[in-house]
């Protein structure tokens, strides 16, 4: 569930019911959306963070790993610590992203999904914050990051060992934003396509359509009962 919607499950209100209605409308409108994999066997990852946008002030990390033309791994997660700047929040996001990248890369090599064995390193990780990239590569910034737990510096080790290579992209091309932020319609559709999602006719036909409609109805009814 993108953004911070999952944080409101304990205290439901009429406002949350409206948010839930929008989510269900999106689910119903995208029931023929399919994840299409293919293309060149090339790994590219995207990592970003939505800094202090929630009331709890914990930033939200977003991550996506794409092989060829489709995403094989993605996440949207609240960070464990409260960071003091957008640079720090993106630096913390690198840790989770780097762990997923290394694990997924080794898994895909072992099962033979990627023909290049051993896996070609380093794997590219895109970021839209120049400060976070500099912080990951330069240990002289240590005085400014003493309050960050040691395990969040894992990204530095990955760079030194040449497992991961960071590179900058503009925010307008940061695909991971789709997991954390509200985006303009055209930007959302473009990022959705970049993840390998496209509309098509499902093999299950109307059976799958019926299942989605039924699930939406039951969820909507349950939410109404809980609020009443």
Greater confidence (225 vs 88) lies with 88
Share the mean pLDDT of the chain: 76
Q: What is the pLDDT of residue 58?
A: 87
**Rounded Cα distance, 188 and 181, in Å:** 10
Answer yes or no: is pLDDT of 3 > 60. Answer: no
Count of CB atoms within 10 A of residue 69's CB?
16
pLDDT(209) > 50: no
Judged by average pLDDT, the poorest of 2-16, 45-59, 176-190 is 2-16
- Res 205 pLDDT > 60: no
Read off the pLDDT of residues 14-73 as tens digits, 9 standing for 90 and up: 777 777 778 888 877 787 888 888 777 678 899 988 887 777 788 888 899 988 888 888
**Of 33 and 220, the one with more pLDDT:** 33
95 neighbors 83 (Cβ within 8 angstroms)? no
Q: What is the pLDDT of residue 126?
A: 92
Given this model, what pLDDT does residue 100 score?
A: 87
User: 142 pLDDT exceeds 70?
Assistant: no
Is the pLDDT at 152 greater than 50? The verdict is yes
Per-residue pLDDT, 132: 86
Quote the pTM value: 0.74
pLDDT score recorded for residue 170 = 92
CATH class, 33-200 region: alpha beta
> CB–CB of 32/201 below 8 Å?
yes
């Amino acid at each position: 569930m993108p953004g911070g919607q999952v944080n409101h499950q304990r205290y439901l209100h009429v406002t949350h019911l409206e948010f839930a209605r929008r989510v269900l409308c999106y689910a119903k409108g995208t029931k023929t959306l399919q994840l299409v994999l293919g293309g060149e066997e090339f790994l590219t990852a995207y990592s970003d963070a939505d800094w202090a946008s929630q009331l709890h002030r914990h930033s939200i990390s977003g991550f996506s790993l794409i092989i060829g033309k489709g995403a094989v791994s993605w996440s949207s997660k609240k960070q464990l610590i409260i960071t003091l700047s957008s640079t720090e929040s993106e630096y913390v996001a690198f840790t989770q992203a780097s762990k997923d990248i290394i694990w997924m890369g080794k898994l895909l090599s072992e099962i033979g999904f990627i023909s290049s064995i051993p896996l070609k390193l380093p794997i590219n990780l895109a970021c839209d914050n120049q400060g976070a990239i500099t912080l990951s590569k330069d240990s002289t910034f240590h005085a400014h990051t003493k309050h960050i737990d040691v395990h969040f510096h894992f990204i530095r080790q990955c760079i030194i060992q040449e497992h991961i290579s960071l590179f900058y992209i503009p925010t307008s091309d940061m695909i991971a934003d789709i997991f954390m932020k509200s985006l303009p319609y055209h930007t959302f559709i473009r990022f959705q396509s970049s993840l390998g999602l496209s509309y098509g006719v499902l093999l299950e036909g109307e059976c799958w359509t019926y299942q989605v409609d039924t699930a939406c109805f039951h969820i909507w009814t349950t939410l109404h009962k809980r609020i009443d």
